[in-house]
């Protein structure tokens, strides 16, 4: 009887138990990581496609696990969101990015026309203290608000329209820009554009990856560029990896982009070197 009870589970239970255990371990580790210095930001440049000029950087979080492994945000952001740790993680990344941006301004690396963008998860938007925290961080660091941007995805859908609307109003009132991330992948991207005043659209990488010599592969990116123009928003293509994609994007007059072709995300200390490298291209 013992045996049959166990075998009834065999089909699905072992991996489920493993997953649950893995997540609990991940949560414990992440809690500890937040207290130590294991969470760092990497930075990827955003460029004006025609001139190649760097217009800013996107801050992307990295977790340097003590066992030497680099854990991807795709793996731990969802856990952070489910456990509420996203609040601490979000404050940590905002504080780091804001301090770093101000340091770069003083070093002359970040000009007045450039900015640093931070990814914000939908769960953070529901946090009443977030806007106040950002305001305080800007004040403390001395970073001008226009040197900071926020990137949000459709995950903001988890909040009510009122909450999201308030968040936009307050952030805009501070003078901070908001960009729509992963544009074109969600269900309601279009209705968002209508309701909330985004400053830029980021064309999802999946569209850029599909670009080849065919005109069909360009039809979606081209429509998004037209849409952005009509609404007075900048359009930035994500995940540009090769010259062909770059050439085609320039051809359809997409203004901005980022991707491995220019640079992978790098640690803050490697940014000056990356800039020199990009300048010499
Ligand atoms: P995302 O905001 O769409 O970021 C773009 C992702 O594409 C990054 O992955 C980046 O490293 C990667 N990428 C950039 N250029 C290329 C390219 O040319 N080719 C390819 N294949 N990939 C490229 P990453 O850093 O692993 O981040 C994954 C996601 O995790 C991000 O997607 C974002 O949604 C989330 N994330 C990252 N940092 C944060 C953060 O500080 N807070 C929050 N809430 N989410 C974050
Ligand atoms: Ca992003
Ligand atoms: Ca994106
Ligand atoms: Ca994404």
- The residue that leads in pLDDT, 11 or 179, is 179
Q: What is the pLDDT of residues 96-153, one digit of tens each?
A: 999 999 999 999 999 999 999 999 999 999 898 999 999 999 999 999 999 999 999 9
Other C-beta atoms lying within 10 Å of the C-beta of residue 162: 8
Which atom of ligand 1 sits closest to the CA of residue 265? 11
Q: How far is ligand 3, taken at its centre, from the CA of residue 204, in Å?
A: 6
In sequence order, what are the residues at sequence separation of 6 or more whose Cβ sits closer than 8 angstroms to the Cβ of residue 107? 272
Considering every ligand atom, which ligand is closest to the CA of 117? 2
Could you give the CA distance from residue 67 to residue 89 in angstroms, rounded to a whole number? 20
Confidence (pLDDT) at 7: 45
Rounded Cα distance between 97 and 91, Å, is: 10
Q: Is 77 in the pocket of ligand 1 (CB under 6 A)?
A: yes
Q: Is 74 in the pocket of ligand 1 (CB under 6 A)?
A: yes
The answer, yes or no, to whether any atom of ligand 1 lies below 6 A from the CB of 78, is no
How far apart are the C-alpha atoms of 231 and 219, rounded to whole Å? 18
Q: Identify the pLDDT of residue 6.
A: 45
Q: Is the pLDDT of residue 158 over 90?
A: no
Q: Is 39 in the pocket of ligand 1 (CB under 6 A)?
A: no
Q: What is the mean pLDDT of residues 64-82?
A: 91
Binned at pLDDT 50, 70 and 90, residue 279 comes out as: confident
> Over 80: is that where the pLDDT of 26 sits?
yes
Least confident of 49-58, 151-160, 161-170: 151-160
- With the CA atoms of 264, 265, 267 and 273 taken in that order, what torsion angle do they form, in degrees rounded to the nearest 10? 50
pLDDT of residue 271: 98
Rounded to two decimals, the ipTM of the complex is: 0.98
The mean pLDDT value for 228-255 works out to 97
Q: The tokens of 90 are what? A: 């979000």
For the Cβ of 265 lying below 6 angstroms from any atom of ligand 1, the answer is yes
pLDDT digits (tens, 9 = 90+) for 196-227: 999 999 999 999 999 988 999 999 999 999 99
**Cα–ligand 4 centroid distance for 152 (angstroms):** 10
The pLDDT of residue 192 is: 87
pLDDT for residue 55 is more than 90: yes
Instruction: Enter the tokens of residue 5.
Output: 């009870």
Six-digit token string for 266: 């790098």
């Amino acid at each position: 009887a013992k045996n049959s009870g166990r075998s009834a589970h065999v089909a699905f239970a072992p991996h489920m138990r493993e997953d649950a255990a893995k997540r609990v371990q991940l949560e414990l580790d992440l809690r500890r990581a937040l207290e130590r210095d294991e969470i760092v930001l990497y930075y990827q440049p955003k460029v004006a496609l025609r001139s190649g000029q760097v217009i800013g950087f996107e801050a992307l979080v990295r977790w340097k696990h003590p066992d030497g492994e680099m854990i991807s945000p795709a793996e731990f952001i969802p856990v952070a969101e489910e456990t509420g740790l996203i609040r601490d993680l979000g404050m940590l990344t905002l504080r780091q990015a804001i301090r770093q941006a101000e340091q770069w301004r003083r070093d002359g690396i970040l000009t007045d026309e450039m900015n640093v963008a931070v990814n914000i998860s939908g769960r953070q938007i529901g946090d009443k203290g977030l806007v106040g925290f950002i305001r305080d961080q800007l004040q403390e660091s001395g970073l001008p608000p226009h040197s900071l941007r926020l990137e949000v995805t459709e995950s903001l859908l988890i909040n009510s329209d009122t909450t999201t609307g308030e968040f936009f109003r307050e952030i805009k009132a501070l003078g901070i820009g908001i960009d729509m991330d992963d544009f074109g992948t969600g269900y309601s991207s279009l209705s968002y554009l209508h309701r909330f005043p985004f400053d830029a659209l980021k064309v999802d990488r999946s569209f850029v990856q599909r670009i080849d010599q065919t005109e069909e592969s360009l039809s979606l990116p081209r429509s998004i560029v037209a849409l952005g123009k009509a609404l007075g928003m900048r359009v930035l293509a994500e995940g540009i990896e090769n010259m062909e994609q770059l050439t085609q994007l320039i051809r359809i007059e997409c203004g901005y982009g980022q991707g491995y072709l220019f640079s992978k995300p790098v640690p803050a200390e490697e940014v000056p070197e990356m800039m020199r490298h990009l300048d010499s291209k």
